[in-house]
Amino acid sequence: MIKKIFTTHHKKIIVGAPIVFLVIVSGGGMFGSGNYFSFASNNKNFPIVGDMLPVTLAMNADTPINAVGGTVTFDPDMLNVTSLSRVTSSIDLWSEEPSYSNTEGTLHFSGGLVGEKASLPIHGTILTINFTVLKPGKTVITMKNGELLAHDGEGTNVALGSNTLSLYTREMKNASPDVNGDGVLSVSDANALYLKTFFTYDPQYDLNGDGRVSWADVRLLISLF
Supply φ then ψ for residue 24, to 5 degrees.
-115, 125
Q: Compute the distance between CA of residue 60 and CA of residue 38 in angstroms, rounded to an integer.
A: 8
Confidence of residue 50 (pLDDT cuts 50, 70, 90): very high
The 8-class DSSP code of residue 16 comes to: -
Examine the domain organization and report whether 143 and 205 are in the same domain. no
The CATH number of whichever domain residue 70 belongs to comes to 2.60.40.680
pLDDT at 33: 62
Task: Write b or e for each residue in 99-122: b if 16 or more Cβ atoms lie within 10 A of its Cβ, otherwise e.
Answer: ebebeebbbbbbbbbeeebbeeeb
Examine the domain organization and report whether 122 and 74 are in the same domain. yes
Q: What is the mean pLDDT of the chain?
A: 84
Confidence of residue 162 (pLDDT cuts 50, 70, 90): confident
Examine the domain organization and report whether 132 and 214 are in the same domain. no
Query: pLDDT tens-digit profile of 1-22?
Result: 554 444 433 333 334 433 343 3
Q: Is residue 2 part of a domain?
A: no
Treating both helix axes as pointing N-terminal to C-terminal, what angle do 215-223 and 187-196 enclose, rounded to 10 degrees?
Answer: 170
Mean pLDDT on 30-50: 84
Q: Is residue 23 part of a domain?
A: no
Q: Is residue 10 part of a domain?
A: no
Examine the domain organization and report whether 142 and 216 are in the same domain. no
Examine the domain organization and report whether 186 and 164 are in the same domain. no
Do residues 161 and 90 lie in contact, with contact meaning Cβ atoms separated by under 8 Å? no
Examine the domain organization and report whether 62 and 96 are in the same domain. yes
H helix intervals, 58-121? none
Examine the domain organization and report whether 61 and 94 are in the same domain. yes
Examine the domain organization and report whether 145 and 195 are in the same domain. no
Examine the domain organization and report whether 164 and 178 are in the same domain. no
Please tell me the total count of domains within the chain: 2
Predicted TM-score of the model (pTM): 0.78
Q: Is residue 9 part of a domain?
A: no
Do residues 213 and 202 lie in contact, with contact meaning Cβ atoms separated by under 8 Å? yes
The 8-class DSSP code of residue 41 comes to: -
Examine the domain organization and report whether 116 and 217 are in the same domain. no
Examine the domain organization and report whether 163 and 196 are in the same domain. no
**Residue-number span of the structural domain to which 68 is assigned:** 28-169
Examine the domain organization and report whether 70 and 142 are in the same domain. yes
- Work out whether strand 20-25 and strand 93-101 pair parallel, antiparallel, or are unpaired: unpaired
